[in-house]
Amino acid sequence: MSSKGQVKDWNETLSSRLRNPEFAREFIIASLDESIALKEILAKVIRAYGVNEFAEKAHLPSYDVVCAISPDSNITYSTLSKMLSVFGLEIGVSISREIESVA
């Protein structure tokens, strides 16, 4: 099998597995641990689902999903929250260190 054929098989296998929400959640988390941009990760996962099907699961218009994963767009907190909720994920902020007083 040629390397192009192997890559195609790998991409098809990954796309198929990403349609499983539990696998997709672990893929998202692992990709973030590798410092891959969340928008890039979501775009890959959403394309595996199909934009229309994903939009339905996220309770968003398809247009909003397409805009959200577009490289030049800014995603809103509300849209991102709905998109992550499909995978049982949510946005969070935590304290990483103590800050010094400005006074």
Question: For 3-39, what is each residue's pLDDT tens digit?
Answer: 666 556 656 777 888 888 899 999 999 999 999 999 9
- Cα–Cα dist 56/21, whole Å: 14
- Separation CA 79–CA 97 (nearest Å): 29
Instruction: Report pTM.
Output: 0.78
Question: Is the model's pLDDT at 88 over the cut of 60?
Answer: yes
Rounded Cα distance between 29 and 32, Å, is: 5
- Higher-confidence position of 41 and 11: 41
